[in-house]
């Protein structure tokens, strides 16, 4: 078992408390027998202090056990699951401290519980080991919740960007380009930049950048295959880490696993800062007002914003989500990003954000089949068709749909942008924003009832969908059918019990 110093303290504290209670000794009794103070013993049992060898020997003698047994990391049967919990690293992914929960007290409280709770902890650990729970899903779910609590708008980060722009006279720059930000990173924060190393390592095609800060030296490696907007975003994030003085961070720019909730949270802050730096708030609010006041759906205007702000589709839509709730009172929406290998017919949802809606939650990061009627999927199909006909792979396409969700009967006005991935070979992606089609949206978006916009009944995934006559279905509704089956069984059982 490889454990941190903090966790070793916790284990010793749990063992000491259990042994003391087995001997029916109070803290005062053990203090008297070991010649240690009750306050010091309390700190040991709380996992805050680790005693010296001499004091461990005194405690072992007072408890009438061997020195080795006391310091051993091997735990008794009912405490063993908590050792596994520490070893599994799940507590590092569960951001308990951000919710005001002291991890030490949490473990000590759990250690008092029954064997049944110990069995439950063991079961959770095994589930985490054998599922995607171990891939930061706890932390990523907490991050999405954190964004929802703030309606995805962070005033302190907007103010930080304003202050940075004032200090660096960065207001007149539009669009923000890679070399403009690179100049600031070099001159203000003294970075070296290399664009050759990453592109020469074939094992790292999905790594966008790597930062290194050692002994006062700062260096960042940038993947030369990236677009100018993607490079600018990375440099913007690196500026954010320095300007906001964020030390606990991931130094690898990719979608690979990060070490902790804190690093994920700091990544959110740096990403927000970079987006706000590249896409200025006032400018985008003005453009959104123009866009929403159009009488007809204008796909070319939406696509033109990518060039105007030197932004990727992902960055543009994420920045729109920062501002729509705050400045347009459109606070029921979802953001989705799908990837697909060209001509594979398989679509993977790898990024989502929801604000005051549960749409798109079903089957997230699973192997279920998303509704083929849905705009994010149909836009990818359309992109593939255009690529096949025109042999053009760098263009961006836009689409719109009024999506009526069959299960909830809620209707959303959805916008999508589709494009070929820069780094993933033969891969396309789409990003989608869906706003609840309520009275607030109808007051803000004039073209919501444009007759050219398709109105389509959609659902979550095929496995959960009860629509019987769907010609686009790609998988049987087994989850829905099992749910109906068990509901019938429950009703039958209830009826028999009532008759009896």
Kindly report, residue by residue over 432-489, the tens digit of the pLDDT.
Answer: 999 999 999 999 999 999 999 999 999 888 888 888 888 889 888 898 889 899 889 8
Classify residue 467 by its DSSP letter: -
How far apart CA 423 and CA 442 sit, in angstroms, is: 39
Owner of token pair 């796909």: 299
How far apart CA 13 and CA 356 sit, in angstroms, is: 43
Classify residue 461 by its DSSP letter: B
Chain Cα centroid distance, residue 118: 29
How far apart CA 417 and CA 396 sit, in angstroms, is: 7
How far apart CA 122 and CA 143 sit, in angstroms, is: 25
Q: With a cut of 70, which residues of the chain have pLDDT below it?
A: 1-4, 75-139, 172, 202-205, 256-259, 360-366, 391-393
pLDDT for 182 equals 94
**Token pair of 226, please?**
């990236």
pLDDT for 193 equals 92
Owner of token pair 């699973």: 366
**Token pair of 64, please?**
């009438």
Strands, sheet with 427-436, edge to edge from the N-terminal-most edge strand: 348-355, 333-341, 427-436, 411-420, 397-405, 455-458
**Quick one: 26 exposed, middle or buried, by C-beta within 10 A (0-12, 13-18, 19+)?**
exposed
How far apart CA 489 and CA 228 sit, in angstroms, is: 59
- Give the model confidence (pLDDT) of 259-274 as tens digits: 677 888 899 999 999 9
Beta pairing, strands 217-222 & 191-194:
parallel
**What's 85-148 look like in SS3?**
HHHHCHHHHCCHHHHCCCHHHHHHHHHCCCHHHHHHHHHHHHHHHCCHHHCCHHHHHHHHHHHH
DSSP reduced 3-state for 210: strand
pLDDT for 142 equals 73
The tally of CA atoms less than 13 A away on the side-chain side of residue 207 is: 19
List of residues 6+ apart from 122 with CB closer than 8 A: 80, 81, 84
Domains of the chain: 5-134 (1.10.260.40), 145-278 (1.10.10), 292-484 (no CATH)
**CA-based Rg of the chain, rounded to a whole angstrom?**
28
Output the CA angle 194-206-433, nearest 5 degrees: 115
Q: What are phi and psi of 413, to 5 degrees?
A: -90, 115
pLDDT for 363 equals 58
**Token pair of 486, please?**
């068990």
How far apart CA 285 and CA 294 sit, in angstroms, is: 15
pLDDT for 87 equals 62
Nearest to 273 by CA among 246, 305, 250, 312: 246
How far apart CA 494 and CA 275 sit, in angstroms, is: 56
Classify residue 75 by its DSSP letter: -
**Token pair of 414, please?**
């959805």
Owner of token pair 């669009």: 175
**Token pair of 134, please?**
């171990």
DSSP state string for 156-181: HHHHHHHHHHHHHT-SS--S--HHHH
List of residues 6+ apart from 212 with CB closer than 8 A: 218, 219, 220, 221, 251
List of residues 6+ apart from 270 with CB closer than 8 A: 237, 238, 240, 241, 244, 246, 249
Q: What are phi and psi of 369, to 5 degrees?
A: -105, 115
**What's 372-429 look like in SS3?**
CCCHHHHHHHHHHHHHHHHCCCCCCEEEEEEEEECCCCCEEEEEEEEEECCCCCCEEE
């Amino acid at each position: 078992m490889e454990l941190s110093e903090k966790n070793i303290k916790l284990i010793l504290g749990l063992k000491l408390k259990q042994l003391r209670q087995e001997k029916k000794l109070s803290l005062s009794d053990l203090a008297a027998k070991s010649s240690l103070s009750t306050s010091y013993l309390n700190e040991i049992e709380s996992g805050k202090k680790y005693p010296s060898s001499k004091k461990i020997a005194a405690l072992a003698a007072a408890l009438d056990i061997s020195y080795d047994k006391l310091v051993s990391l091997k735990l008794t049967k009912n405490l063993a699951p908590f050792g596994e919990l520490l070893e599994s690293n799940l507590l590092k992914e569960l951001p308990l401290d951000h919710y005001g929960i002291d991890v030490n007290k949490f473990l000590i409280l759990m250690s008092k519980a029954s064997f049944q709770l110990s069995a439950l902890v063991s079961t959770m650990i095994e589930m985490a080991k054998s599922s995607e729970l171990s891939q930061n899903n706890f932390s990523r779910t907490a991050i999405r919740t954190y964004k929802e609590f703030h309606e995805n708008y962070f005033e302190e980060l907007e103010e930080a960007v304003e202050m940075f722009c004032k200090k660096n006279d960065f207001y007149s720059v539009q669009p923000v380009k890679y070399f403009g930000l690179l100049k600031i990173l070099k001159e203000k924060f003294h970075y070296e930049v290399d664009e050759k190393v990453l592109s020469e390592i074939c094992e790292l095609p999905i790594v966008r950048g790597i930062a290194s800060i050692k002994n006062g030296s700062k260096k960042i490696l940038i993947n030369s295959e990236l677009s100018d907007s993607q490079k600018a975003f990375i440099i913007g994030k690196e500026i954010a880490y320095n300007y906001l003085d964020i030390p606990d961070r991931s130094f690898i720019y990719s979608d690979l696993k990060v070490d902790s909730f804190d690093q994920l949270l700091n990544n959110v802050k740096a990403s927000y800062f970079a987006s706000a730096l590249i896409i200025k708030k006032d400018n985008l609010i003005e453009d959104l007002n123009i866009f929403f006041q159009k009488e007809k759906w204008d796909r070319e205007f939406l696509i033109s914003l990518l060039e105007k702000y030197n932004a990727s589709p992902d960055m543009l839509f994420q920045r729109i989500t920062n501002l729509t709730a705050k400045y347009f009172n459109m606070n029921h929406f979802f953001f989705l990003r799908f990837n697909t290998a060209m001509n594979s017919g398989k679509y993977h949802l790898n990024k989502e954000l929801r604000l005051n809606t549960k749409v798109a939650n079903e089957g997230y990061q699973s192997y279920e089949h998303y509704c083929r009627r849905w705009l994010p999927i149909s836009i990818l199909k359309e992109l593939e068709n255009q690529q096949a006909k025109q042999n053009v792979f760098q263009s961006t396409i836009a689409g719109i749909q009024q999506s009526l969700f069959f299960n909830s009967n809620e209707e959303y006005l959805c916008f999508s942008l589709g494009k070929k991935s820069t780094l993933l070979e033969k891969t396309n992606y789409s990003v989608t924003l869906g706003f609840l089609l309520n009275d607030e949206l109808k007051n803000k978006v004039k073209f919501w009832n444009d007759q050219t916009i398709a109105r389509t009944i959609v659902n979550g995934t095929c496995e959960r969908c009860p629509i019987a006559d769907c010609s686009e279905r790609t998988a049987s509704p087994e989850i829905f059918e099992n749910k109906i089956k068990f509901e019938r069984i429950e009703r039958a059982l209830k009826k028999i019990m009532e008759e009896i």
